[in-house]
Structure 1
Amino acid sequence: MAKNYIQPGNEITITNEDVTDAAAIASGDGVLIGSLFGVAQVDIAVGAEGTIGLIGVYSLPKVSAQAWTVGQRIYWAAATSECTTTASSNKLIGVAVEAAANPSATGTVRLSAGFTI
């Protein structure tokens, strides 16, 4: 292994910055920091550190009025903290790995290793 190797990068530790309008992050919440997206593995209080998962398959909140197909690109709408099939100014986070009905509150997403587009 290379002497400069740090970790696999499947999970990373982040700080829930204590800034204006900051809120606690609950385990299972989607977390978008710049172009990095992950799912909180633990509850993370404002000002505290916690781990987010960058890869894997997660059940995440979605825009209820959308139907998803397997393999469809899924984006994160930061304004509503929901997954959507609408690209617009939203960030690409992965693909649907199960069909989701319209209406439905959650969808199953395979994350694209943390980096949004």
Structure 2
Amino acid sequence: MAKNYIQRGDTLTIPAPAAVLSGGVVIAGDIKGIAQGDAAAGVPVDVATRGVWELPKVAANAFTLGGKVYWNATDGLATSTASGNTLLGVAVEAAPADTASVKVRLSGF
């Protein structure tokens, strides 16, 4: 193994860009993931950058299998609207408009 290898990178410990609860979406520049614990802004938090996660979504939005899922940081909800939002990953199953959540495979980076 190369001497400069640090880790796989599936979970990163970074300063929380804002207060976050365990299971909440964390976006820090191009790092996108799910907080593995509660943290105040600036406090280190473990962030999972891979995996499939169930996240709350905009009620009116429907997702198809493999459809892109964006994160609306203002509302704290997954959305199908790309404009002004951050690409989070893809839906791993359909989520009709009348459901409260969508299962998302994180895109990583």
TM-score, length of structure 2 as denominator length: 0.92
TM-score, length of structure 1 as denominator length: 0.86
What is residue 46 of structure 2 aligned with on the other side? 51
Deviations 1:41-100 (Å, cap 9, x if unpaired)? 111133421101000000011111111110001111111111111111211111000111
In 1, the alpha carbon distance for the partners of 2:47 and 2:107 equals 14
Deviation at 1:104? 1.7
Deviations 1:12-67 (Å, cap 9, x if unpaired)? 001125xxxx5x31100001112211100111133421101000000011111111
What is residue 28 of structure 2 aligned with on the other side? 33
What is residue 12 of structure 1 aligned with on the other side? 12
- Kept after mapping to 1: 8 A contact 2:70/2:87: yes
Q: How many residues get paired?
A: 109
Of 69, 74, 78 in structure 1, the residue corresponding to residue 69 of structure 2 is: 74
Q: Which runs of 5+ in 1 are unaligned?
A: none
The residue type equivalent to 2:15 in the other structure is T
Identity among equivalent pairs (%): 50
Runs of 4+ in 1 over 6 A off after TM superposition: none
Q: Which runs of 5+ in 2 are unaligned?
A: none
Report whether the alignment pairs 1:89 with 2:84.
yes
